[in-house]
Amino acid sequence: MVPEIALPPEYRNTKAGRELYSEIEIHASPGRIWEILTVFPWYPEWNPFIRSIRGDLVVGGRITAELRPPGSAGMTIRPVLVKMDPPREFRWMGHLFISGLFNGKHVFEIHPAGTGRCRFVQREIFSSFLLPLFTQMLNGGTARGFTDMNAALKERAENTGPEIQ
């Protein structure tokens, strides 16, 4: 038996900038995980970190996401979808006030890991000269938000509804 994987978020350097990275093993098909991630009206029912998303899953389109990291009043962002690859990956790009001030590319990836299992990766790549001002927040509430969302996604995928291939 392969051990369960649930890595706590790691804040690390990459070629693209600083990255907050997390992953968890989920006993569900890529289709089931994709469905949960992309049926936005379900978010208030299960997602403790991203409380809602409104908009269409169209590359180049803008969505509105309400984020509520633990210990925070939360914030609303309006990122642009930059990649859609069902049922494997979607990502958005957002920024604070103006591009370049504080940019973040949020990535959701689903990697098959054997029969009935997947590795779900949630990460955000940050680039900005203001990044040092946000490091404590990213290592704290945002990292906990990733952990909480990953655990809630796992719970929902493994314990609700019919399996979607």
**Full pLDDT tens readout for the chain, 165 residues:** 344 556 567 765 667 667 889 999 999 999 999 999 999 999 999 999 999 999 999 999 999 999 998 888 888 999 999 999 999 999 999 877 666 666 789 999 999 998 899 999 999 887 765 555 555 555 556 888 999 999 999 999 999 765 544
Rg (CA), the chain: 15
In a domain, 74, yes or no: yes
Total domains in the chain come to 1
In a domain, 7, yes or no: no
**CATH number, domain with residue 45:** 3.30.530.20
Structure tokens given for 77: 């962002």
Domain containing 78: what range? 12-159
In a domain, 47, yes or no: yes
Going through 55-128 in order, the beta strands assigned E by DSSP cover: 64-67, 75-77, 80-85, 89-95, 103-112, 118-127
